[in-house]
Amino acid sequence: AQSVTQLGSHVSVSEGALVLLRCNYSSSVPPYLFWYVQYPNQGLQLLLKYTSAATLVKGINGFEAEFKKSETSFHLTKPSAHMSDAAEYFCAVSRSGGYNKLIFGAGTRLAVHP
């Protein structure tokens, strides 16, 4: 079985500060990992994905995430927060290979203040 735990349902940072959103996964097989972002009243959009290639994955809008197998983590970071980054962020996991469904974490709401 697979699962995702996002630490912290709410994170607040100042504009220009580092953004760190935490995600830990559980999987009995090599996972695929994803980060999605949801803006108010919209669907989810893919930020980035890890599919067993490079462990450091770069996504859109300056975000990146690093896959650490030893820590079963896939934390999302951005060096400098922008007001437009305020949204809800979801980490998700699926099994590698073949056809599989995505399991989402509970989400982390990011607030960015001036």
Binding site for other proteins (CB under 8 A): 32, 34, 36, 41-46, 49, 51-52, 90, 94-107
Q: Kindly state the DSSP code that residue 69 receives in the 8-state scheme.
A: T
Kindly state the smallest distance separating residue 72's Cβ from other proteins, in Å: 19
Nearer to other proteins, 8 or 97 (CB): 97
Kindly state the smallest distance separating residue 75's Cβ from other proteins, in Å: 19
Nearer to other proteins, 53 or 70 (CB): 53
